[in-house]
């Protein structure tokens, strides 16, 4: 299906699910109010509309990605820092690339192997329906990028202890166990972050990189990779998480409409004994 047809469907979804159906509208509005209390209602409404247009585009683009060629990906999602993470890998090290739900993160995962000469392991949260999960996992792995359940992360990092690998993780998901999370001030709110990425980076001394995927226009994105630290053992786990949270917040503030506001990111509350706010 050509892209122009896909975007006509996206426009239809915008009308039916947002304008008429109000898909997760209450969640999006609550998140925007809490994240941007200083903005006017008009400003937040503009972000909301742009977000929903973006949301339905990336939904259909993700399905389109299952049939895209390598040339299609290279044309539509350009890496603008081509020497990363290769300069770190060339030093004989693995790399842990952290990202957020920005731009088209699905395309980013599918095309990750184009830019690394090691195994690329994308850690993801499995879908509850095992048949759908099997289909999605198989479809995502069309270019030798290996999608592994984040529930098996401990085993996977052990398997690659003595060989290079590029690990990729969208790390802005809400932790399943808030009592074991790293709590940070993020977008004006106490926010629980996964503690696994920082722990694995320290335990296996893996440099941490950040990938930013930015929408340029409909169907076209750029990817840029920056180094958060090459020496993770110089930090505490919470300090490493703070480096990630600060970088993620910067890119959200730059293009707020490109982040996944429909996600129940703040469904957990901080425990009473941990109520002291910590700035990243």
The model scores a pTM over 0.75: yes
What pLDDT is recorded for position 86? 67
What pLDDT is recorded for position 110? 83
Phi, psi of 27 (to 5 degrees): -65, -45
Burial profile 179-196: b = 16 or more Cβ within 10 angstroms, e = fewer: eebbbbebbeebbbbbbb
What pLDDT is recorded for position 138? 63
What pLDDT is recorded for position 137? 62
Residue whose pair of structure tokens reads 């004006």 in the numeric block: 188
Residues lower than pLDDT 70 in the chain: 83-86, 89-92, 127-129, 131-144, 271-280
């Amino acid at each position: 299906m050509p892209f122009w047809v896909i975007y006509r469907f996206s426009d239809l979804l915008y009308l039916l699910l947002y304008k008429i159906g109000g898909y997760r509208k209450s969640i999006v509005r609550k998140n925007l109010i809490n994240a941007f209390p200083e903005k006017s209602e008009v400003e937040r409404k503009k972000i909301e509309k742009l977000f929903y247009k973006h949301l339905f585009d990336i939904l259909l683009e993700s399905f389109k990605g299952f049939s895209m060629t390598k040339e299609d990906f290279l044309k539509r999602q350009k890496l603008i820092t081509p020497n990363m993470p290769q300069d770190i890998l060339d030093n004989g090290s693995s790399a842990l690339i952290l990202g957020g739900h920005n731009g088209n993160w699905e395309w980013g995962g599918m095309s990750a192997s184009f830019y690394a000469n090691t195994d690329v392991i994308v850690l993801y949260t499995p879908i509850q329906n095992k048949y759908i999960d099997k289909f999605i996992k198989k479809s995502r792995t069309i270019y030798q990028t290996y999608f592994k359940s984040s529930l098996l992360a401990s085993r996977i990092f052990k398997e690659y202890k003595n060989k290079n690998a590029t690990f990729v993780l969208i790390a802005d998901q809400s932790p399943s166990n808030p009592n074991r999370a790293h709590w940070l001030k993020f977008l004006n709110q106490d926010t629980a972050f996964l503690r696994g990425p920082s722990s694995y980076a320290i335990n296996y001394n893996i440099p941490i990189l950040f990938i930013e995927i930015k929408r340029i226009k409909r169907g076209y994105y750029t990817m840029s990779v920056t180094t958060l630290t090459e020496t993770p053992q110089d930090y505490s786990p919470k300090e490493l998480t703070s480096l990630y949270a600060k970088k993620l917040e910067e890119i959200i503030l730059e293009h707020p409409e490109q982040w996944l506001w429909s996600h129940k990111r703040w469904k957990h509350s901080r425990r009473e004994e941990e109520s002291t706010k910590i700035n990243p």
